[in-house]
């Protein structure tokens, strides 16, 4: 798992987000470029750790994502 992917998951942990709870995340919070954020988020979604939600910049953790974020 890349450092950017771990930073994204750590945000969910820092805000105590549990599975199926939404968090609004953007690349500024992760301190990465917009393109780096998009690539990392796509990988997390493809791995089944995060789900993209309907509101823009909203994501939720899957159970597996929650376990990894801890």
Q: pLDDT per residue over 45-61, tens digit each?
A: 999 999 999 888 899 99
Kindly report each contact of residues 13-20 with a partner whose C-beta sits within 8 Å and lies 24 or more positions away, as own/partner.
13/69, 13/70, 17/60, 17/61, 17/66, 18/61, 18/66, 19/60, 19/61, 19/62, 19/63, 19/65, 19/66, 20/60, 20/61
Q: How far apart are CA 13 and CA 56, in angstroms?
A: 20
The pTM assigned to this predicted structure is 0.86
> pLDDT, tens digit, for every residue of 2-47?
988 998 999 899 999 999 899 998 777 777 777 888 899 999 999 9
Q: Report the largest interatomic distance among the alpha carbons of the chain, rounded to a whole angstrom.
A: 27
Coil vs helix vs strand at 1 = coil
Q: What is the CATH number of domain 3-69?
A: 1.10.10.10
* Residue 65, pLDDT above cutoff 90: yes
Q: In the chain, what are the domain boundaries?
A: 3-69
């Amino acid at each position: 798992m890349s450092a950017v992917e771990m930073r994204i998951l750590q945000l969910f942990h820092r805000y105590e987000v549990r599975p199926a709870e939404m968090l609004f995340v953007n690349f500024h919070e992760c301190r990465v470029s917009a393109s780096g954020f998009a690539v990392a988020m796509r990988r997390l979604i493809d791995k089944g750790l995060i789900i993209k939600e309907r509101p823009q910049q909203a994501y939720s953790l899957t159970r597996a994502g929650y376990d990894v974020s801890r």
